[in-house]
């Protein structure tokens, strides 16, 4: 590995080894789980994009972004999911709200086996 001026191959090698060890210590999400989350999250984001510009709709779109960031980071998605469920419940009753809830329920079903992620109650008919 070649470095910039003044860098030694030994230092570069140690840095690469350090980065490799750090990557090995992290526990990656199984690819199957990521694939299972892609479709329902894509639907959730698309449906949120259809919402109006009112305060509750803006909150739902922000909640979808927060959930996406939590899922991408591999962290605990229970708080963003609960907040999003509350915001979705504040939307006027209708088909769009039902579709948002269904997509969120699919995401939560995939995350349910993960410790610390609770399935948020809420039915499609609410």
Report the distance separating Cα 35 and Cα 9, nearest Å: 39
Long-range contacts, stretch 35-41, CB < 8 angstroms, 24+ apart: 36/110, 37/71, 37/107, 37/110, 37/111, 39/106, 40/103, 40/104, 40/106, 40/107, 40/110, 41/67, 41/68, 41/71, 41/103, 41/107
Whether residue 41 is predicted with pLDDT greater than 60 in this model: the reply is yes
Which is higher by pLDDT, 126 or 47? 47
pTM above 0.85, yes or no: no
Q: What is each CA distance from 28 to 36, 59, 81, 93, in whole angstroms?
A: 15, 30, 21, 38
Task: Note the pLDDT of residue 105.
Answer: 95
The C-alpha atoms of residue 105 and residue 71 are separated, in whole angstroms, by 15
Percent above pLDDT 90 for the chain: 48
Q: Per-residue pLDDT for 26 more than 70?
A: no
Element (H, E) at 37: helix 31-49
* Residue extents of the structural domains in the chain: 31-111
């Amino acid at each position: 590995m070649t470095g910039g001026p003044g860098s030694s191959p030994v230092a570069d090698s140690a840095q690469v080894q350090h980065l490799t060890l750090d990557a090995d210590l992290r526990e990656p999400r199984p690819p199957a789980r990521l694939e299972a989350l892609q479709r329902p999250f894509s639907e959730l984001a698309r449906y949120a994009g259809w919402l109006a510009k009112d305060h509750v709709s803006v909150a739902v779109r922000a909640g979808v972004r927060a959930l996406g960031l939590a899922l991408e980071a591999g962290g605990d998605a229970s708080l963003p999911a609960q907040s999003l469920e509350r915001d979705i419940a504040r939307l006027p009753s209708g088909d769009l709200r039902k579709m948002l809830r269904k997509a969120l329920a699919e995401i939560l079903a995939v995350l349910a086996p993960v410790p610390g992620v609770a399935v948020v109650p809420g039915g499609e008919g609410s």
